[in-house]
C-alpha cells in the first residue's frame, strides 16, 4: 500500500526514566540486546542524568529503545490506570514463546509481575522504573 506524502519510517521509541543508563541495562540484559550509547550526566546535573540506547542484535526484530532522564521528576505510571494518577501513555509488547519461562526470566532480570493481569495469554510486568510492559504469548 502506498500513501501520498514523504516516506516515514518508525525507528525508535524514547522512554523517560529516573536513571536512563540503569533502565537501558535492564532491557539489554532481559532482551539480549546491545547498549549502543550511554551518555553520562550533563555538567551540573544529578548523577542519574544522561541518555542511553539499546538496539536489537543484527537481524533482530524491534525498534531502537532510547532512555532519557526525566528532568521534571519522574513519576511511575499506575497500572491499571486510575483517575487522578500518573497514566501509562505507552507500553512495550514483547512476543514470547513460553509465558512462564519469560515471566521468570524478566523477574530474575529485575522486573516485577503486575498484580492485575487482564488476559490469560499476556503477562503485564513492571520494569525497574515502574513502566508496564507486556509479555505476549506468540
Residue 24, all three cell numbers: 537501558
Spell out a b/e string for 60-86, using b for 16 or more CB atoms within 10 Å of the CB, else e: eebebbbbbbbeeebebbebeeeeeee
With CA atoms as reference, report the closest residue to 66 among 13, 117, 17: 13
CATH of domain 10-72: 3.10.180.10
State the pTM of this model: 0.92
pLDDT in single tens digits along all 138 residues of the chain? 678 899 888 899 999 999 999 999 999 999 999 999 999 999 999 999 999 999 999 999 999 999 999 888 888 888 988 888 888 888 999 999 999 999 999 999 999 999 999 999 999 999 999 999 999 999
- Statement: 75-138 belongs to CATH 3.10.180.10: yes
108 alpha carbon, distance to own chain's centre: 16
- What ranges do the domains of the chain cover? 10-72, 75-138
Strand partners, 113: 125
Amino acid at each position: 500500500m502506498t500513501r501520498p506524502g514523504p516516506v516515514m519510517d518508525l525507528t525508535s521509541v524514547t522512554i523517560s526514566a529516573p536513571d536512563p543508563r540503569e533502565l537501558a541495562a535492564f532491557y539489554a540484559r532481559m532482551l539480549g540486546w546491545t547498549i549502543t550509547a550511554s551518555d553520562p550526566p550533563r555538567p551540573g546535573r544529578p548523577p542519574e542524568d544522561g541518555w542511553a540506547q539499546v538496539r536489537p542484535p543484527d537481524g533482530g526484530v524491534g525498534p531502537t529503545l532510547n532512555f532519557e532522564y526525566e528532568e521534571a521528576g519522574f513519576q511511575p505510571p499506575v497500572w491499571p490506570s486510575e483517575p487522578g494518577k500518573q497514566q501509562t501513555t505507552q507500553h512495550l509488547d514483547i512476543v514470547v514463546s513460553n509465558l512462564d519461562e519469560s515471566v521468570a526470566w524478566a523477574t530474575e532480570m529485575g522486573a516485577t509481575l503486575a498484580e492485575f493481569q487482564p488476559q490469560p495469554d499476556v503477562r503485564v510486568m513492571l520494569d525497574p522504573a515502574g513502566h508496564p510492559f507486556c509479555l505476549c504469548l506468540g
